[in-house]
Amino acid sequence: MSAQKLYGSHVPLAPLSRILLGIGSAATAITDPRRGDMVAAMGETTAVGPVLENIRRRMESDKIGKKLLMEKPRISNETIDRKWLAQLPDGTLGKHYSNFLERLNTSPDARPTVKYIDNLEHLYVMQRYRETHDFTHIALEQKTNMLGEVTVKYFEGIQYGLPMCVSVVFLEEPDF
């Protein structure tokens, strides 16, 4: 555990503080899933190093994943031309993404910045996971309601093994 800031938004946590924030953010996120800050805090405080390292290694073993880790591209208003995406033909990922953002009246920059990850190599893995969450909604054709979020978390739990995503299986009871 680092006692010093490793990056601009970093908040170093003592082990007990990490546990307490994990429990508190989980309780808040479960009772009010609209609290994106608490969902993000829960995701980060429960994302133990071996899980993030496994994701990083999987990315590194893939040609495109390796390129992502080297170049660290971001999904933000600065890197995405939303006007161009809106003009793409129906049925394209870009058009779906544009419609998704418009329908929710949101932007890629609305995602919270990573704060509680204590390893610079894992920082990008967590940020990339967060920035691609909307694409998972689109690929699975899931809305952002409770059923859609639980479905997306199930999928992410299987794909990534992040404790927050896996815990949804045990904590949520969707109305199928």
Residue 173 has pLDDT above 80, yes or no: no
| Distance from C-alpha of 162 to C-alpha of 91, rounded to nearest angstrom | 30
Q: What is the pLDDT of residues 5-49, one digit of tens each?
A: 999 999 999 999 999 999 999 889 878 877 889 989 999 999 888
Q: What is the pLDDT of residues 78-130, one digit of tens each?
A: 999 999 999 999 999 999 999 999 999 999 999 889 999 999 999 999 999 99
State pTM to two decimals: 0.87
The residue written with tokens 């591209």 in the block is 73
Contact call for residues 101 and 120 (beta carbons, < 8 A): no
pLDDT at 58: 97
